[in-house]
Amino acid sequence: MIDFFNYLEVNNWLLVIFCCLAGYLPGSVSFARLINFSITRTTRMEGWAEPVPHSEEVFESDLVSATLIAKKLGPRYGCATSLLDMMKVIVPTLLVKLLISGQPWFLLTALFGIIGHNYPVWYRFKGGRGESPILGALLVINWFGIFIVNIAGAILGFIFGSVLVMRWSGYILMILWYWIYFKDWRFVGFMILANLIFWVSMRRDLARFLELKKVKGLTFTEEDVSEFIFMGKKPGRFLDQYSLYSSFKKMNSRK
């Protein structure tokens, strides 16, 4: 085994192929489909459609992910799916990090794990959005950076009064953190590509969300958004009442 990895380290092109496949093949295992089959005994996976609060509009998504399982089978199964999706990236990335020293080849493994999750070859390249695999990769690469950027994201969410900013700005902030911490373009490049994969997969859902924001007479609170994306009501309720943006709006309405 040691001789095999020593051989890889002196043959860069083989090393690249190995690291990519070590990430992509486990990453393309769809635990959402496996858990759905174990419970429903059917391989059929349909997207979900859910009424938008305070309206007759419907929000639809066809992403095959932990969110879909949570919507269809409940939060317990959704959480299990998310954990398994994290582990399928954590394990190969960590093994490559430990076994192949010198250069950060494990970044390729982590990146292709995310790609495999979003574009699994076994399922006609129809997968999820990559949130759980990204989190799994970040835990291996720089686990304490997650806490730093999430704190920063929470502050930004408080300033702008947005649950979505609170939840997802950390991925963008991680680019800056990697530049500050590693000072290595490879880590920054990895995070840029991970963001690109994530936001491309989210493009339809985000477009639909922006479309709903423009519907005349339709208003939904941050509490509604928070509950809708499985963060519970409390974060959104707090932002509705106490965020800087909300406080500013209340001051203006009194004038």
Angle at 197 between CA 36 and CA 14, to 5 degrees: 95
Q: Which residue has the higher pLDDT, 106 or 226?
A: 106
pLDDT at residue 253 is higher than 90: no
Average pLDDT over residues 160-179: 94
SS3 101: coil
- Is the pLDDT assigned to residue 13 strictly greater than 70? yes
Give the model's pLDDT for residue 102.
80
> What is the number of structural domains in the chain?
1
Query: Is residue 12 classed exposed, middle or buried when 0-12, 13-18 and 19+ CB atoms within 10 A define those classes?
Result: exposed
Counting every residue, how long is the chain?
A: 255
Closest Cα to residue 75, out of 66, 84, 83?
66
Amino acid at 143: W
pLDDT number for residue 7: 59
* Average model confidence (pLDDT) across the chain: 88
**CA dihedral over 124, 204, 80, 35, signed as positive or negative:** negative
Summarised one tens digit per residue, pLDDT across range 189-221 is 999 999 999 999 988 888 877 777 677 666 778
90-148 pLDDT tens trace: 999 999 999 888 889 999 999 999 999 999 999 889 998 899 999 999 999 999 999 99
Query: Six-digit token pair at 19?
Result: 């690291």
- For 58-88, write each residue's pLDDT tens digit: 777 778 888 889 888 888 999 999 999 999 9
Output the pLDDT for position 8. Answer: 62
> H-helix or E-strand containing 48?
strand 48-51
pLDDT reported for residue 229: 76
- Of the chain, the percentage scoring pLDDT greater than 70 comes to 92
Which domain range does residue 81 map to?
2-254
